[in-house]
Amino acid sequence: MKQAILTAKAQQPGGMPYSQAIKTGNTVYVAGQGPFDPITGWSMGDDLQTQARQTLDNLKAILEEAGATMADVVKVTVILGEGANFDEFNDIYKEYFASPYPARTIFGSNIGFLVQIDATAVIA
């Protein structure tokens, strides 16, 4: 059975046709999260530090709503926007994830902000 996950503590879908996450069994699939404030819906900051932390905080809030933690994440996809520094992002990323790190795909794109992340978690 598939269950939609929704929390007010993360970026809202608004009228867009997607769920923040879907939980099926012990697996949680989190939609791509960006640096958007859950209350205002506006992108936070113009720098990678602010945007990456807001994005990861959104991800964390959705996982918690689903009964998961960042330690349960097994796979992430990261899109870095134009001008984002890979090494700086990795330093921030390590504040949220510990070894063994999730498998990760990372690539660059002109997305209009500096970072977007989706994730898959398996609750132990």
The model's pLDDT over 13-29, given as tens digits with 9 standing for 90+, comes to 988 999 999 999 999 99
Residue 111 pLDDT more than 90?
no
> What's the mean pLDDT when you consider all of the chain?
96
Distance CA 40, CA 116 (A): 18
**pLDDT at residue 14, rounded to an integer:** 87
Residue 103 pLDDT more than 90?
yes
Average pLDDT over residues 94-116: 96
**pLDDT at residue 87, rounded to an integer:** 97
The model's pLDDT over 38-86, given as tens digits with 9 standing for 90+, comes to 999 999 999 999 999 999 999 999 999 999 999 999 999 999 999 899 9
The full set of domain ranges for the chain reads 2-122
Fold designation for 2-122: 60s Ribosomal Protein L30; Chain: A; (3.30.1330)
